[in-house]
Amino acid sequence: MASKQAFWTVPAKDGEPDLWVCMSCLNEAFCRKVPMPACPTCHGVSTYEAFTLAAVQDWGTAELIAKATAAQREAEAITAAASATPPVESVQ
Ligand SMILES: [Zn+2]
């Protein structure tokens, strides 16, 4: 990657959608975070709205669905890694 995209972290809330889709270009999707200061594709500010993956799959383009699916998998992997209990070594 040539340039590093910065993000606002959006904490996941129970029962609320955590996939953030740009409503301006409908070409970017991120999970539990939104790019800052603007959308990397259309440079729109505050254009992101939250959806569930099922909703995106309902109306999104194939490309958007692929991005949304990948974003959610990535977020789930990070969550799983963060909640994994570190191995405890017993001192003998
Ligand atoms: Zn956009």
How far, in Å, from the CA of 48 to the mean position of ligand 1?
8
Cβ–Cβ contacts within 10 Å for residue 74, how many?
Answer: 14
pLDDT of residue 21: 98
Ligand 1 center to 24 CA (angstroms): 5
pLDDT for 7 equals: 96
What is the distance in A from the centroid of ligand 1 to the CA of 79? Answer: 26
For residue 6, the surrounding DSSP H or E stretch is strand 6-9
Q: What is the mean pLDDT of residues 53-82?
A: 95
Q: pTM for the whole thing?
A: 0.83
**CA of residue 92 to ligand 1 center, whole Å:** 57
Q: Check whether 20 has a pLDDT greater than 90.
A: yes
Cα(20) to centroid of ligand 1, in Å? 11
Nearest to 9 by CA among 31, 26, 37: 31
What is the distance in A from the centroid of ligand 1 to the CA of 84? 34
Instruction: Band the pLDDT of 71: cuts 50, 70, 90.
Output: very high
The mean predicted confidence, pLDDT, of the chain is 91
> Between residues 86 and 46, which one has the greater pLDDT?
46
